[in-house]
Structure 1
Amino acid sequence: MTERVVATDATLELIERLKGKHGPLMFHQSGGCCDGSAPMCYPLGEFLVGDADVQLGEIGGCPFYMSRAQFEYWEHTQLIIDVVPGRGGMFSLEGPEGLRFLTRSRLYTDEEWAELSTRPVG
């Protein structure tokens, strides 16, 4: 089954480290305001999601959300959440680790898109 959002091994390792410090986590793909367009990591429930947000899936057992309007632009791409050295978003939990989450993407194949088009996002 094709996933809308996946994580690299380095990302999964960082998620586990952050869970150990902060407990359950959640992600929201920033729409480009204060912290650019970056995946933001919060303690679960700290960022309030609403009707304008959709859950794309989970990474490392953590729900991953994006605004519905932004999803309309990204729906043909798989989000690949990676981690790189640098300063993260000022509101995101990875900042003090000297790392930041980064969204990479790739277009779905025709077969993957056919499968995904039968599964609406939540």
Structure 2
Amino acid sequence: MTEPVLRVTATDQALALIDDLRREHGPLMFHQSGGCCDGSAPMCFPQGEFIIGDYDRLLGEIGGVPFYISGPQFEYWQHTQLIIDVVPGRGGMFSLEGRSGQRFLTRSRLFTDEESAWLAATAHAAPHAGSR
């Protein structure tokens, strides 16, 4: 496999909303929630407003915005590609898209055997946030 395997990607609609939010709020970041207040929604914050912990992992970037996930969530989702999409509705109460009439949604698909092998062979597949 010659192309890198992306652990997180986004639809065109999600990328458009990210651009709108960036124009309004400046640099952004995402964290994949693992439950609690807003279920398992991808949460969008102004860059640095959410504290990244030692066990959080940087999955990649969508629209030039870093996307993190907690270590326990990564263990659960490590065999899937996260696809960030947008649907009509009210976003999470802490996520920036809350007032837009749209909300981010995580879809997923299982990696193929070839993609899984590529990810296993690469050291940078999902580094801890502290090793950026």
TM-score range, shorter chain: over 0.9
Instruction: Please give the alpha-carbon distance, in whole angstroms, between the structure 2 residues aligned to 1:97 and 1:9.
Output: 16
Q: Residue 30 of structure 2: which of 3, 27, 32 is its match? A: 27
TM-score, reference length from structure 1: 0.98
Matched residue, 1:92: 95
- Work out whether 1:64 is the aligned partner of 2:40: no
Aligned-partner SS, 1:63: strand
Tell me the distance in 1 between the aligned counterparts of 2:87 and 2:27: 22
Ranges in structure 1 where 5+ consecutive residues have no aligned partner: none
1:94 aligns to what SS in structure 2? helix
RMSD: 0.6
Aligned counterpart, 1:121: 126
In structure 1, distance between residues paired with 2:47 and 2:63: 13
Query: TM-score, with normalisation over the residues of structure 2?
Result: 0.91
1:80 is matched with 83
Aligned residues: 122
Q: What's the offset of the Cα at 1:28?
A: 0.2
Match of 1:55 in 2: 58
Structure with greater proportional helix content: 2
Q: Which runs of 5+ in 2 are unaligned?
A: 128-132
State how far apart, in whole Å, the 1-side matches of 2:119 and 2:82 are: 14
Aligned counterparts of 2:22 and 2:62: Cα–Cα separation in 1: 12
Q: Where has structure 1 moved over 6 Å in runs of 4 or more?
A: none
For residue 117 of structure 1, report the CA deviation from its aligned partner: 1.0
| Cα distance in structure 1, aligned partners of 2:55 and 2:62 | 21
* Structure number having the greater strand percentage: 1
Give how far 1:121 is off: 1.1
2:126 partner letter: V
